[in-house]
Amino acid sequence: MIEGLSHMTFIVRDLDRMTAILTGIFDATEVYASGERTFSASREKFFQVGGFWIAVMEGEALPMRSYNHVAFKIDDAELGAYEARIKALGLEILPPRTRVPGEGRSIYFYDEDNHLFELHTGTLAERLERYAKGKAAV
């Protein structure tokens, strides 16, 4: 039986750069760094973000960008502050996608390894309630 999500792993060229992103944007706490030792496939670091485990491992960047992404829940009132954090790190923020009212707001941004992240203000329950009302985005 699945008990829940264990962790997410991101392969990155620069562990220090990803550390700056995770700590600077997501308020992550670094809980482990392998240094030059490797117990896994490569050097790695572990972080806690909102009680969730994120692993980053040294390796090659994704060959291209896609819409595959991970979304983190934030409060709507904090959207502007998070946008400022992303801009301060020089990361590319995508234009907002078309949405229907009531499904929350988002900021999408890429890191240098082609990972897409989303900061989202809505919940699944809110989105399903809005979709049940019909009338798609234009």
Per-position pLDDT tens, the chain of length 138: 888 889 999 999 999 999 999 999 999 999 999 988 878 889 999 999 999 999 999 999 999 999 999 999 999 999 999 999 999 999 999 998 887 777 889 999 999 999 999 999 988 998 888 888 876 655
* Same domain as 81, residue 20: no
* Same domain as 42, residue 14: yes
d(CA 34, CA 37) in angstroms, rounded, equals 5
* Same domain as 131, residue 104: yes
Is the whole-model pTM more than 0.85? yes
Closest CA to 126 of 91, 102, 108: 102
* Same domain as 136, residue 68: yes
Are the C-beta atoms of 11 and 57 separated by less than 8 Å?
yes
Annotate 90-137 with DSSP letters as a single string. Answer: TPEEPPPPP--TTS--EEEEE-TTS-EEEEE---HHHHHHHHHT----
Predicted confidence at residue 6, as pLDDT, reads 93
Q: What is the domain extent for residue 83?
A: 61-138
* Same domain as 52, residue 65: no
Predicted confidence at residue 132, as pLDDT, reads 83
Predicted confidence at residue 135, as pLDDT, reads 64
Residue that finishes a domain, picked among 60, 89, 110: 60
Predicted confidence at residue 96, as pLDDT, reads 84
Total domains, the chain = 2
Distances (CA, A) of 5 to 33, 35, 116: 22, 26, 19
* Same domain as 104, residue 72: yes
* Same domain as 46, residue 83: no
Residue that finishes a domain, picked among 60, 75, 93: 60
Residues serving a catalytic function are 44
Residue that finishes a domain, picked among 34, 60, 86: 60
CATH code of the domain containing 102 = 3.10.180.10
Provide the CA 125 distance to its chain's centre, in angstroms.
Answer: 20
